[in-house]
Amino acid sequence: MTSSEIRSRFLKFFEKRKHAVIPSASLVPEDRTVLFNTAGMQPLIPYLLGKAHPSGTRLVNSQKCVRTQDIDEVGDNTHDTFFEMLGNWSFGDYWKREAIEWSYEFLTSLTEGLGLNPERLYVTCFEGNENAPRDEESETIWREIFEKNKVKGERIYFRGVEKNWWQIGENGPCGPDTEMFYDLTGALNKGMSLEEYKKADDEQKIVEVWNDVFMQYIQKDGKVTGELPKRNVDTGAGLERVCMAVQGKTNIFDTDLFEPAIRHIREHSKKENLLSERIVADHIRTACFIIADGVIPSNTDRGYILRRLIRRAVRHADVLGLDSLSDLVRIFVKTYAEAYPDLAVKINVISEEIEKEESKFRKTLSQGLKKFEKISDGDISGGDAFLLFSSYGFPFELTKEMAKEKGLKVDEIGFKEEVARHQELSRTGGEKRFAK
């Protein structure tokens, strides 16, 4: 089953269950309070807080998302900076039983869903704390489902706030969630103890494929102060990880979302480096979507995130001996042609911006790498990090990554002080220049 078929099946499954299909919002949030939409629910926060949605109380879509807080993890089996979140929502409509039963049905149904083996499923529920009780309701529903389908063995676990609690910051709606994990190895189908489950999770032998959030509380300053007027359901399934499970892969880069790009990189590289291949593919895919939503490289805000991604991709292309990134744009546009036709419409703009940024950085990359080697006989000072940034175009995070590869540290406080001093000199210099 291709990624396009998985996406389509998901939307049709919930449309049949009276959910209105809505389009993905832009990666750039309308309220501009954060840099990018990082979850499927983020564009829907007003409706989760009580505002009536024009399409009704049941919605479903595939939302484009960008997260860079885990950028250092990109290159392992499951992390990426751009992803699609398949999600269905209930605004004061159905509750836990429907949400959980539909999640299980879509994952395992041979006719309407993905046909995954139920014996390879494991789930977690909220263990409870001073804010909310143990989520025994979700546990009961899951136990009934597994018993009905004759799925044996221990496979339901209770976890704490860090794993099975969802909130919008310290203030706003919140609630417990239940997460679904799938055994990628096919060898863990007899059930596991909690410790065995944790170990398999750490080793990425099982991966989270779905999350059902039950928003029923309101909190202030991190403390639950009452219940919401309406209970909401927010579910999310990362398309890339679902593809891993359905397509029988052990990492997202072997799925059809990445495979054409990875193949091109290998065919045109002079050296082999698995980590660099994955970073290049991931970052250029993310750059394509960010540019398509109107962002261009710069030294501030969203533009800086984009610049970091492209320049990090260029640096890893250099590790591979890959001369150009432009062909990857065409490959990703083709991969996503059906779901996101706007990428094809904007392919020239996307290509031009990536080519300009690539060309600009390649002019100083070689000299910057030589300078880095000269100063990296010990930890990197803030002044040296600023020199790499201002004279050679190295984003601070790239310098930090390169230093980490050599077991070195970078003086981040000193770097920020240098940036502030430079900005102050530029400001006062400008004032003197234009003073009358």
Return the pLDDT at 434: 43
Q: Examine the domain organization and report whether 354 and 380 are in the same domain.
A: no
Q: Is residue 369 part of a domain?
A: no
Residue in the block written with tokens 């999600």: 87
Q: Is residue 371 part of a domain?
A: no
Q: Examine the domain organization and report whether 63 and 197 are in the same domain.
A: yes
Listing DSSP states for 142-194 in one string gives HHHHHHHTT--S--EEEE-HHHHEEESTTSEEEEEEEEEEEESSS--TT---H
Q: Examine the domain organization and report whether 326 and 431 are in the same domain.
A: no
Give the length of the chain.
Answer: 436
Percent of the chain, pLDDT > 90?
90
Domain end position, chosen among 231, 250, 269:
250
Q: Are 188 and 199 in contact (CB under 8 A)?
A: no
CB atoms within 10 A of CB 46: 12
Domain end position, chosen among 336, 363, 390:
363
Amino acid present at 35: L
Q: Examine the domain organization and report whether 347 and 386 are in the same domain.
A: no
Among candidate residues 285, 282, 288, 298, the one with its CA nearest the CA of residue 349: 288
Per residue in 47-102, pLDDT (tens digit) is 988 899 999 999 999 999 999 988 999 999 999 999 999 999 999 999 999 999 99
**Distance (Å, whole) CA 349 – CA 343:** 10
Q: Examine the domain organization and report whether 227 and 296 are in the same domain.
A: no
**Distance (Å, whole) CA 107 – CA 209:** 9
Return the pLDDT at 48: 87
Q: Examine the domain organization and report whether 98 and 243 are in the same domain.
A: yes
Q: Examine the domain organization and report whether 245 and 356 are in the same domain.
A: no
Q: Which ranges of the chain have pLDDT less than 50? A: 432-436
Q: Is residue 368 part of a domain?
A: no
**273 SS3 class:** coil
Q: Examine the domain organization and report whether 25 and 114 are in the same domain.
A: yes
What is the domain count for the chain?
3
Q: Examine the domain organization and report whether 240 and 321 are in the same domain.
A: no
Stated as kind and residue range, the H or E segment containing 108 is helix 96-108
**Distance (Å, whole) CA 385 – CA 389:** 6
Q: Examine the domain organization and report whether 30 and 91 are in the same domain.
A: yes
Amino acid present at 126: F
Q: What is the mean pLDDT of the chain?
A: 94
**Distance (Å, whole) CA 384 – CA 83:** 35
**87 SS3 class:** strand
Question: Which domain, by its residues, includes 426?
Answer: 376-436
Return the pLDDT at 155: 97
**Distance (Å, whole) CA 420 – CA 46:** 37
Q: Are 35 and 64 in contact (CB under 8 A)?
A: no
Q: Is residue 163 part of a domain?
A: yes
Q: Examine the domain organization and report whether 223 and 331 are in the same domain.
A: no
Domain end position, chosen among 208, 223, 250:
250
The CATH number given to whatever domain includes residue 86 is 3.30.930.10
Return the pLDDT at 431: 52
Per residue in 318-365, pLDDT (tens digit) is 999 999 999 999 999 999 999 999 999 999 999 999 999 999 999 999
**204 SS3 class:** coil
CB atoms within 10 A of CB 21: 13
**Distance (Å, whole) CA 27 – CA 45:** 15
Q: Examine the domain organization and report whether 26 and 133 are in the same domain.
A: yes
